[in-house]
């Protein structure tokens, strides 16, 4: 398991390097790294006093050839998603047999079939609006995904909260944190 995680991280790092190297060209990437300490960003123009003439995010957007130049072109975390309450795996594990707690797996059906939190129901983001009518508003919903920052789980939580569900939390660390902690899982078909 550890080997797979290390290999996955190495492939991810290589992918990031390739994404940067292709649009910028290796010379620009290496040159940009050399200029970074002096200028702050890749090949960013500098005024005589040493101040950048172009804000750093705009310079990066221009170097990458993005159509929308400026801070709007660089994704920023959605404050609504960041505000969703989180629950850690230890607290969540204590609630696994609680009749008023529902674990919601926000991953895809194939991932769910390969393993999920014991008793969790599969509700993908696109299915949530049509499945909400069958959910109890008084239950505690603990939603998890496989995102590094619980993004999909938090988006589902926002939808539920916007529709009157008040006891909704995203599982900190998601599926990976649950697995790493060794808490109960099961295999099975999607629901």
Residue 69 and residue 95 in one domain: no
Residue 149 belongs to domain with CATH number: 3.40.250.10
How far apart CA 89 and CA 162 sit, in angstroms, is 25
Q: Is residue 55 part of a domain?
A: yes
Domain-ending residue, one of 48, 73, 98 = 73
- Structural domain range at position 161: 79-186
Residue 88 and residue 60 in one domain: no
The answer, yes or no, to whether residue 172 has pLDDT greater than 70, is yes
Residue 134 and residue 177 in one domain: yes
Q: Which residue has the higher pLDDT, 12 or 33?
A: 12
The answer, yes or no, to whether residue 55 has pLDDT greater than 90, is no
Q: What is the model's pLDDT at position 166?
A: 94
Q: Is residue 144 part of a domain?
A: yes
Residue 83 and residue 42 in one domain: no
pLDDT digits (tens, 9 = 90+) for 62-106: 554 544 444 444 455 577 788 899 999 999 999 999 999 999 999
Confidence of residue 56 (pLDDT cuts 50, 70, 90): low
Domain-ending residue, one of 15, 48, 73 = 73
Residue 166 and residue 94 in one domain: yes
Q: Which residue has the higher pLDDT, 32 or 91?
A: 91
Residue 163 and residue 109 in one domain: yes
Domain-ending residue, one of 73, 103, 133 = 73
Q: Is residue 191 part of a domain?
A: no
How far apart CA 78 and CA 67 sit, in angstroms, is 22
Gap between the terminal Cα atoms of the chain: 27
Q: What is the pTM of this model?
A: 0.60
Residue 63 and residue 20 in one domain: yes
CA angle 81, 129, 137 (to 5 degrees): 80
Whether residue 60 contacts residue 32, with contact meaning beta carbons closer than 8 Å, is answered with: no
Q: Is residue 95 part of a domain?
A: yes
Average pLDDT score over residue span 25-46: 41
Residue 172 and residue 125 in one domain: yes
Q: Is residue 142 part of a domain?
A: yes
Residue 151 and residue 64 in one domain: no
Q: How many domains does the chain have?
A: 2
Whether residue 187 contacts residue 159, with contact meaning beta carbons closer than 8 Å, is answered with: no
Q: For the chain, what is the mean pLDDT? A: 75
Q: Is residue 101 part of a domain?
A: yes
Q: What is the model's pLDDT at position 47?
A: 52
């Amino acid at each position: 398991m550890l080997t797979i995680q290390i290999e996955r991280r190495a492939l991810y790092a290589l992918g990031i390097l390739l994404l940067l190297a292709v649009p910028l060209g290796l010379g620009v990437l290496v040159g940009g790294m050399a200029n970074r300490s002096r200028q702050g960003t890749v090949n960013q123009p500098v005024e005589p006093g040493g101040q950048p003439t172009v804000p750093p995010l705009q310079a990066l957007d221009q170097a990458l050839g993005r159509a929308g130049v400026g801070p709007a072109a660089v994704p920023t975390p959605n404050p609504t998603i960041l505000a969703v309450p989180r629950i850690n795996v230890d607290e969540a594990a204590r609630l696994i047999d609680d009749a008023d707690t529902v674990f919601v797996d926000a991953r895809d059906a194939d991932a769910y079939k390969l393993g999920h939190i014991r008793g969790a129901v599969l509700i993908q983001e696109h299915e949530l609006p049509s499945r909400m009518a069958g959910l109890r508003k008084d239950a505690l919903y603990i939603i998890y995904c496989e995102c590094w920052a619980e993004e999909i789980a938090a988006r589902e939580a926002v939808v539920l909260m916007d529709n009157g569900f008040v006891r909704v939390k995203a599982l900190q660390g998601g599926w990976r944190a649950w697995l790493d902690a060794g808490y109960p899982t099961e295999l099975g078909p999607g629901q």
